[in-house]
Amino acid sequence: MNEPVRPSNFLRTILREDLESGRASAIATRFPPEPNGYLHIGHAKSICVNFGLAQEFGGSCNLRFDDTNPDTEDTEYVESIIRDVRWLGFQWNGEVRYASDYFGQLYAWAQHLVREGLAYVCELSPEDTRLYRGTLTEPGRNSPFRERPAEDSLALLEDMRLGRVEEGKMTLRVKIDMSSPNLNLRDPVLYRVKHAHHHRTGDAWHIYPSYDFAHGQEDAIEGISHSICTLEFEDHRPLYDWFIEHLPVPARPRQYEFARLNLSYTVTSKRKLKQLVEERHVEGWDDPRMPTISGLRRRGLTPAALRDFVERTGVSRSESVVDLGVLEFCIRDDLDKNAPRAMCVLRPLKIVLRNFDADAQVLRAACHPSREDLGQRELPFGRELWIDRDDFREEAEKDFKRLVLGQEVRLRNAYVIRAEEVVRDASGQIVSLVCSYDPETLGKNPADGRKVKGVIHWVSAAEAIDCEVRLYDRLFLDASPDAAEGGFLANMNPRSLEILRGCKAERSLASATIEHRFQFEREGYFCLDPRRGDGDVPVFNRTIGLRDTWSATAKGN
């Protein structure tokens, strides 16, 4: 039997060739998030690529926080990122690492560059620095402080470190080439003054390294062989290599870039996600409609489905947009194979079986149609049941395969019933149905050859648990929210959340935990929300429907 074709991943070829040629003796990668927000699905791809390649080649992957900007960082984000990586099923090499672990070494290397005549303290204002830098079509100009004696720069750098210099007054810059066509090489900044409290080092430092200066040197300290990042860092690679070449680092890592994950019907800009949260368009960073890993987890995605999605999309250097339907397929495929079945009535309508005179029964049903290992569950059955209001019509066309007054339908995993009478309240609204059941139809068709075309779900009125159900859908109507008229906020789907209260679920769901996923038969895939609903009842979030209901025309238009 032929091996299945694996999606493209050019990085596999690079790593394999580097091992075979001896350029790398072992594979060591890293995932280096900045702890200034919650990770999103794009970060999930980076996690899977870095950890996955290390696993595949018998190497290691470090988790290292790029905590070089104390103004925006918080331990809340550190904890959420650690939780996300673990949830995805990956374990990093050794202890969690931080850029701040290397602040002393980085400062010593900055001093080395100054002594070698390769760096200087610059006193241009931020505005003048931008003017001197030039443009894409015009070269930059040397700073008037570029030839400052090394001794003077070293003394000023120490003053900066000790907090004796105001923010914005001085920077440490490296001497490369102010006429370079790559703006990143026009004497980039190594250190800025920041009188900010750091979540790990406190007030010990008053200067913080730039990402470009810190990143490659941290890779070298940790013995990283392949620094894998997204394409926006491609223009930074010459600077990455320059620092490695001009500093006495203990290793020579190499940077490789791949195309980031762009997903239709989704925004992943940290600024825009923050706007959604702060303006209360969603209820928080872990809102199940958000593309954050914490939001996807709360919605009920499994790590396996997300890893499968990343693998299917492949790894390339070509920018493209992946259709959200690919992710939804992976979710359905995983849950269909693994989620136990259960019944939950979302819009309850009571039925009374007038000829059910026996004591309540306990029926049994498989938890999964093809997974015997998941066992069976008990279904209490009695005189009064709940069915879904949408499953009944007093009169209906022929293609309505559910319960119609005067006709029969099968209750799933139970008996055939006939609707005989409608009971209304004073306003004329239907409040219940009087039905009869055929006691000879449990697990078999009617003996006289009657054909029952439809099957509906139900729960026992006496044994059901009350719950709240939240029906989540896509957050945006257009496949390209940013390109839509009026911008991404004007493109939000008004039906992205429907909250149903007073739902009735089968008794087996009383023992559900947040780790469980279920298929609510005929309704979709659901998970227990970690928060309780009104009246302290359990809340079940819809992960996804049983089938794709989106077409070329956006839903809701």
Give catalytic residues, as residue numbers. 34, 260, 270
Per DSSP, what are the bridge partners of residue 229? 257
User: Which amino acid would we find at residue 315?
Assistant: V
Tell me if residue 336 falls in helix, strand or coil: helix
- Helical H segments across 420-544, by residue range: none
Buried b (16+ CB within 10 A) or exposed e, 102-112: bbeebbebbbe
Q: Cα dihedral sign for 238, 239, 242, 243?
A: negative
Give Cα separations from 529 to 281, 297, 348, 469, 516 (angstroms): 19, 10, 21, 9, 10
Q: How far is 452 from 401, CA to CA, in rounded Å? A: 9
Which residues face 202 on adjacent strands?
198
Question: Looking at 135-225, which runs of residues are DSSP E strands?
Answer: 171-174, 189-193, 207-209
CA angle in degrees (0–180, nearest 5) for 21-27-28: 140
Please check whether residue 65 is in contact with residue 81, taking contact to mean a CB–CB distance below 8 angstroms. yes
d(CA 174, CA 109): 12
Question: Which of 387, 541, 540 minimizes the C-alpha distance to 464?
Answer: 387
CA distance 28 to 61: 6
Q: Please count the other Cβ atoms lying within 10 Å of the Cβ belonging to residue 388.
A: 23
Tokens, residue 59: 């190497």
How does DSSP assign 387-454, residue by residue?
A: EEGGGEESS--TT--SEEBT-EEEETTS-EEEEEEEEE-TTS-EEEEEEEEETT-TTS--TT------
Helix (H) or strand (E) holding 230: strand 226-230
Strands (E), 250-311: 254-258, 262-263
Q: Please give the backbone phi and psi of residue 98, each rounded to the nearest 5 degrees, phi first.
A: -140, 145
Distance, CA of 256 to CA of 13 (rounded, Å)? 12
DSSP state, 542?
E
For residue 522, count CB atoms less than 10 angstroms from its CB and return exposed for 0-12, middle for 13-18, buried for 19 or more: middle
Which residues touch 151 (CB under 8 Å, ≥6 apart)?
none
Cα–Cα distance between 379 and 458 in angstroms, integer? 10
Rounded to the nearest 5°, which phi and psi values hold at 113? Answer: -65, -40
Of 77, 64, 75, 56, the residue nearest 30 (C-alpha): 64
Reading the block at residue 131, the tokens are 């003017």
